[in-house]
Amino acid sequence: MEGAIQDSGVNSLIKKLLQMCHQEQAPEVNLYKEFVGVTFDVMRYLVFGQAFGTAEQNDMTVVNWLGDYFIYVPMIRALPILKGRLANLVPPVRWGEMAKNSMSQLAMDAISRRRALLATANCDGDLDMVPNDILQLMIEATDPNSGEKLSDIDLASKSLIQLIAGSDSTGCALTWVMYGLLTHPECYRRLESEVLGAFQPIPSHNISPDPDVDLISHDDVKNRLPYLEAVIQEALRFYPPAATAVPRTVPPEGLTTGFYFIPGGYMLEAPIYTINHSPPAFERADEFTPERWLETADMNTLKQSTFTFLSGP
């Protein structure tokens, strides 16, 4: 997927940032919006095979939808009564519902277009024109027991979950990596010298305003930038993108954890941020220290103690 990720989002953001470098007066840039724009474009391409170009078009509509949606979700969880008719009285709830409806419509439109494309492809006997993306995998999937396929409503809700879960989390992770670096200049300088030691710097007078970007690939970096890896791991620990608690219901027979018995039916929430900052698991837990990932003798335990993805590293 690397080529698709670069083509559908990363290249255009790099071009945009390079162009900003060439402006007489450096503009302010909201990296969160830029990163989420790119990750949404990438996810939209991977899920629906559909290119968009948020960075090129400077169109922040979907980024704003995501922002509204993530304010709406915790409000509705805390006060479900606000849903439906009362939504009109509370602007953030109204905006959240509008954002959710717009994203659902985007998914439904993509599914209708895919059904039409499949009909044409079947008619012409040319299945090569059908993209090999997540939507197509879900359309073709069958339940091994019943042989049933997903309905269009199910397809829309599952693809929407992928789109939302994949773009906001990754965009926030990138933003926090940059925040960690910019608020810890010693880490920034160490990373800068690692990158410049491994790759030729581009002389600034050679950067044209609209260059063909020649991106460094994952193969190029995977063994050459250990400090970059450490910075990313530490940012994911220190600033987990999904920071709040994720609820789970205790099964009817109850659950014993440590010395405690919790009866069935209770709801438990494991707070991700708190666990990632827990002193028994991490030395100097409240310090942003990428070095811990290079110095540890036991990487596996360190990764297992980090709760960022909940189910495991």
Give the Å distances, CA to CA, from 269 to 248, 265, 274, 275.
6, 13, 11, 11
Q: Which amino acid is at 21?
A: C
For residue 257, the cross-strand partners are 260
Q: Which is nearer to ligand HEM, 39 or 289 (CB)?
A: 39
Least distance in angstroms from the C-beta of 251 to ligand HEM: 16
Q: Which of 73, 116, 161, 202 lies at the binding interface for ligand HEM (CB under 6 A)?
A: 161
Least distance in angstroms from the C-beta of 100 to ligand HEM: 14
Q: Which is nearer to ligand HEM, 146 or 311 (CB)?
A: 311
**Span from 59-67, 108-116, 168-176, 223-231 in contact with ligand HEM (CB under 6 A):** 168-176
Q: Which is nearer to ligand HEM, 223 or 311 (CB)?
A: 311
Give yes or no for residue 310 binding ligand HEM (CB under 6 A). Answer: yes
Q: Which is nearer to ligand HEM, 246 or 267 (CB)?
A: 246
**Using an 8 Å Cβ cutoff, are 225 and 194 in contact?**
yes
Cα 32 from Cα 179, distance rounded (Å): 10
Cα 173 from Cα 236, distance rounded (Å): 7
Cα 76 from Cα 166, distance rounded (Å): 21
Q: Which of 242, 245, 250, 255 lies at the binding interface for ligand HEM (CB under 6 A)?
A: 242
Contacts of 136 (CB under 8 A, 6+ apart): 49, 114, 130
**Span from 83-91, 122-130, 165-173, 256-264 in contact with ligand HEM (CB under 6 A):** 165-173
Give yes or no for residue 165 binding ligand HEM (CB under 6 A). Answer: yes
Cα 180 from Cα 240, distance rounded (Å): 12
Q: Which of 8, 50, 162, 233 lies at the binding interface for ligand HEM (CB under 6 A)?
A: 162
Give yes or no for residue 170 binding ligand HEM (CB under 6 A). Answer: yes
**Using an 8 Å Cβ cutoff, are 249 and 267 in contact?**
yes
For helices 61-78 and 152-183, give the axis angle rounded to 10 degrees.
Answer: 100
Please give the size of the binding site for ligand HEM, defined by CB under 6 A.
14
**Span from 79-87, 111-119, 208-216, 238-246 in contact with ligand HEM (CB under 6 A):** 238-246
**Using an 8 Å Cβ cutoff, are 215 and 11 in contact?**
yes
Give yes or no for residue 233 binding ligand HEM (CB under 6 A). Answer: no
Q: Which of 246, 262, 268, 299 lies at the binding interface for ligand HEM (CB under 6 A)?
A: 246
Give yes or no for residue 312 binding ligand HEM (CB under 6 A). Answer: no
Residues 249-268 that bind ligand HEM (CB under 6 A): none
**Span from 25-33, 52-60, 64-72, 302-310 in contact with ligand HEM (CB under 6 A):** 302-310
Residue position matching structure tokens 């069958």? 142
Cα 236 from Cα 177, distance rounded (Å): 8
For residue 91, the cross-strand partners are none
**Using an 8 Å Cβ cutoff, are 227 and 195 in contact?**
no
Cα 154 from Cα 152, distance rounded (Å): 5
Residues 171-200 that bind ligand HEM (CB under 6 A): 173
Give yes or no for residue 305 binding ligand HEM (CB under 6 A). Answer: no
The binding site for ligand HEM (CB under 6 A) comprises: 161-162, 165-166, 169-170, 173, 241-242, 246, 308-311
